[in-house]
Amino acid sequence: MAEHFSERVAGKTVLNVDFGAALRGTANLHNPECFREICRMLETEEADELRIRGEFNKVFDANHLEIIKEVASAVKQLVGGIGLPPCGRCGPKRRDPILQIREEMEGDPVRAFHDAAELLVLKKHTNLCHQCEEKARKDAELVKTLLGSTRLVRASLKNANAYVELFPPKLIPGFISSYVELEVPKDAKLLEQYRVKGADVRIYERPGHADRSYLVFAPEFYIHENENKILSGILDSISREESRIVDPRRAREHFKTLGKKLLEEHAGKLDDDENERLGDLVARYSAGYGIFEVLLSDEKLQDVYVDSPGNTPVHVYHADYEECVTNIVPSNFELEKLSARFRALSGRPFDESSPVLHAELEDLGVRIAGLREPATFQGIGFAFRRHKSTPWTLNQFVRAGMMDSMTAGLVSFLVDGQRSMLVTGPRGSGKSSLLAALLAEVAPSFRMIVIEDTPELPVSPLMDAGYKIQHLRTQPVLGGVAEKGYELTAEEALRTALRLGESVLVLGEVRGPEAKVLFEAMRVGAAGNVVLGTIHGSSAYDTWDRIVNDLGVPSTSFKATDIVISTAAIRKGDETKRARRLTGVTEVRKDWKIDPQHEGGFSDLVTFDARKDSWKLSKELADSQTLREVARIKRTSVEKALENIEFRAQFKQAFVDRAKSVGDWILGVKPVIDSNIEYLRQVERHVREHGEVDFKTLLPHMKKWLGSYSTQAQKA
């Protein structure tokens, strides 16, 4: 008896059947034993798809099932009404000619049909009386009529290979437990196609569908039978080895090496490309993340969502096409396997007693948020957020249209002027990316202390570029409450940072009790240098309201903030596509007492016009308290400060213009840092030789340097 179960997958019911080890290699709809079992199941089970599990999972769609159901329906009508009644004249040893046909009907209806037809052409049956003979002929006629009306039998009359022609399965290797739809809808229009981790990724749009389709066609879906057998055997061997690996972070490389060794033992000598390809698959489905590895490796995907209970397609947020639905539906087995992998990597529990998981896939630069029962009603859900492999820069934001060059020049000037700045905005508005870009505007000579619960900020690239950074890790926060763990709380980390000496202080996000400590340190000057951070909000006033009324910071302490930069993800009209925009740069003035909104405490230095998609610099910029304070610290005039802002704006625009001829690499973090170093060198030279900086002569020099720098870098 085969084992079977039904499950809902992507809006359809899938009947999974496992015929066990005895039939694992031969289980299919050509096999009478399998066909009989499935016919019986479909009498009581509703299904839209059939999966016969084995080394290859054989997938049959609703059309195939309708053909089987026709046979099952015909058989059901026949079973109760055919067969010879007791007959004293024929005797107990009579041969029932219908008995064999009756046994064949479920397993091989085509053969049963032909046997019934053969019975009808015979004139006389041995050992049967006239009454039994007539009954047998009537039964044979009924079998022939009912089975002959089915598509399977009709097809067999035209083609002896009807089973093969009518039931061609889709084959998916047995080690892939997720459901993957490999057929492209006929009405789909291809928008883009590219490769990720050896897989073919295609983006389609369909009439009448709001979301685009993100379809993955991975090489493992198309491996040959012999390769599948080898890989299945190796993965089975590795599953017994896996528990002996002490460090899960080394497991992938270990199993890839082991896989290559086992491949040579199982398959003999392979060429380098084949060995590498199959070795990657061994690593992907042992210590890796299975088919999810393709999604998590695609740098164009910003978010990957798996909604519990896991029987719906994975959906993603694409950098170019926004919301897309994939052709991957994860199985419960796959999600449990991923959960175990994430537990091992993070060292954190993820079970009924701890149903929330926050972790980081350092090898892929992906942040994980996981939920399971009892935090969900059913099943396991994940949200994966990918960090940009290289940090954003203000130059890239100008090119992407998040801000214009003049705004970028002002923001760069304020960071260099050691102002305390908060970037505010809703989730997905780009505030963390903007904070990352601001770090590259800090002079490399300054030391930074970066505090965050999950590593989103580009600490490693900046350290590689020569920055001095101390990275502090805090407990993850969910719903405003820190999870229990071994890390410092955000408040403890901040107090520790304040004892580590004068540094640029960077908070990944301000959201809890640490806010009081932060603003007190800023107010009394204990932070010692520029303070940068993000906070959820929509404007300067919204930020003040949250910090004061939600986080309990005294209103006047908020004056320690110099600048609030607002971001948003905006839509044009009824379009679904969102664009990230810097929507304001607001100065927090110091001459208010209770409510900055009603006492002139906020002054917009930059405003954004959503209708025109443009930015406007304040005409009263020269009267800015912040600008005057920066000029005082730099021991220069407000006029020179304004010239500095104009210089930075034009130089950043020069980068964007240069990218048109040399490529977008010139907008990356290393060219920005190198240009900042050159700028500081030239500033020192100007001050030494002329007593002050002449920005009118400095700009052509820096543009010439940029041209030479980009040319040399391209040659290298």
Each residue's pLDDT tens digit, 505-564:
888 888 777 777 777 777 655 455 778 888 888 899 999 998 888 888 888 888 889 999
Which of residues 634 and 239 earns the better pLDDT score? 634
Query: Is residue 414 scored above 90 in pLDDT?
Result: yes
Q: In what order do the strands lie in the sheet with 380-386?
A: 189-196, 199-205, 212-217, 322-326, 315-318, 301-306, 380-386, 366-372, 356-361
Lowest mean pLDDT among 35-49, 224-238, 425-439, 582-596: 224-238
Rounded to two decimals, the pTM is: 0.73
Beta bridge partners of 422: 533, 564
C-alpha span between 701 and 716 (Å, rounded): 22
Model pLDDT, residue 371? 93
- 248-267 and 332-346 helices, crossing angle to 10°: 120
Instruction: From residue 576, give the alpha-carbon distance in Å to each of 213, 433, 566, 573.
Output: 15, 22, 22, 9
Q: What is the CB neighbour count within 10 angstroms for residue 100?
A: 14
CATH 3.30.450.370 in the chain, residue ranges: 195-218+291-386
| Range 606-613 contact pairs with CB under 8 angstroms and sequence separation of 24 or more | 606/407, 606/410, 606/582, 608/581, 608/582, 608/583, 608/584, 610/570, 610/581, 610/583, 613/401, 613/572, 613/579, 613/581
Residue 266 is predicted with a pLDDT of: 64
C-alpha 234, offset from chain centre = 28
Rounded mean pLDDT of 143-156?
86
- Read off the pLDDT of each residue in 605-617 and give the average, rounded to a whole number: 93
Closest C-alpha among 426, 401, 395 to residue 608: 401
Could you tell me the pLDDT band of residue 391, with boundaries at 50, 70 and 90? confident
CA distance 523 to 558: 8
d(Cα 17, Cα 1) in Å, to the nearest integer? 10
Q: What is the pLDDT of residues 96-115, one digit of tens each?
A: 777 777 777 778 888 888 88
Average of pLDDT values for 410-419? 93
Range of weakest confidence among 12-26, 172-186, 292-306 = 12-26
Average pLDDT over residues 125-136: 74
With CA atoms as reference, report the closest residue to 39 among 14, 2, 80: 2
Residue 319 has a pLDDT of 84
Cβ atoms of 530 and 415 within 8 Å: the answer is: yes
Bridge partners for 564 per DSSP: 422, 586
Q: How many angstroms separate the CA atoms of 532 and 565, rounded?
A: 11
Summarize the confidence of residues 484-495 as an average pLDDT.
Answer: 70
pLDDT for position 275: 72
The CA-CA-CA angle for residues 565, 360, 448, to 5°, reads 45
Phi and psi (nearest 5°) for 134? Answer: -65, -40
Confidence of residue 643 (pLDDT cuts 50, 70, 90): very high
Calpha distance 588→714 (Å, rounded)? 44
- Please say if the pLDDT value at position 709 is more than 60: yes
For the record, the structure tokens of 704 come out as 């010439």
Backbone angles phi, psi at 91, to 5 degrees: 90, 160
Chain centroid to Cα 184, Å, comes to 21
pLDDT of 525: 55
pLDDT (tens digit per residue) in 198-243: 899 999 999 988 889 999 999 888 888 777 877 777 777 776 665 5
Average pLDDT, the chain: 84
Query: 455 near 471, Cβ under 8 Å?
Result: yes
Kindly tell me if the per-residue pLDDT of 120 is higher than 60.
Answer: yes
- Residue 71 scores a pLDDT above 50: yes
Does position 399 have pLDDT exceeding 60, yes or no?
yes
In this structure, which amino acid lies at residue 237?
Answer: S
Distance CA 213, CA 220 (A): 20
Average pLDDT, integer, range 453-476: 82
Out of 118-127, 151-160, 213-222, give the one with best mean pLDDT. Answer: 213-222
Q: Do 560 and 420 form a contact (C-beta atoms < 8 A)?
A: yes
Instruction: Give CA separation, 241 vs 16, 39, 278, 287, 412, in Å.
Output: 29, 40, 18, 11, 53
Average pLDDT rounded to a whole number, residues 463-470: 86
Q: Is the pLDDT of residue 432 over 70?
A: yes
In the numeric block, which tokens belong to residue 48? Answer: 């839209």
> Which CATH number applies to 195-218+291-386?
3.30.450.370
Give the pLDDT score at 412.
95
Signed CA dihedral, 22, 25, 31, 37: sign only: positive
- Residues sharing a CB contact under 8 Å with residue 243, sequence separation 6 or more, in sequence order: none
User: Residues 116, 75: contact at Cβ < 8 Å?
Assistant: no
Smallest Cα–Cα separation from 218: which of 130, 291, 134?
291
Judge whether 119 and 137 are in contact, CB under 8 Å: yes
Q: Tokens 């389609």, residue?
A: 204
Q: Read off the pLDDT of residues 651-697 as tens digits, 9 standing for 90 and up.
A: 999 999 999 999 999 999 999 999 999 999 999 999 888 888 899 99
**Helix (H), strand (E) at residue 567:** strand 563-571
**Mean pLDDT, rounded, for 340-366:** 86
449-458, 524-533, 637-646: least confident range: 524-533
Number of residues in the chain: 716
Answer yes or no: is pLDDT of 92 > 70. Answer: no
Count of H helices and E strands in the chain? 23, 27
Architecture field, domain 394-625: 3-Layer(aba) Sandwich (3.40)
Write out the residue limits of the CATH 3.40.50.300 domain(s) in the chain.
394-625
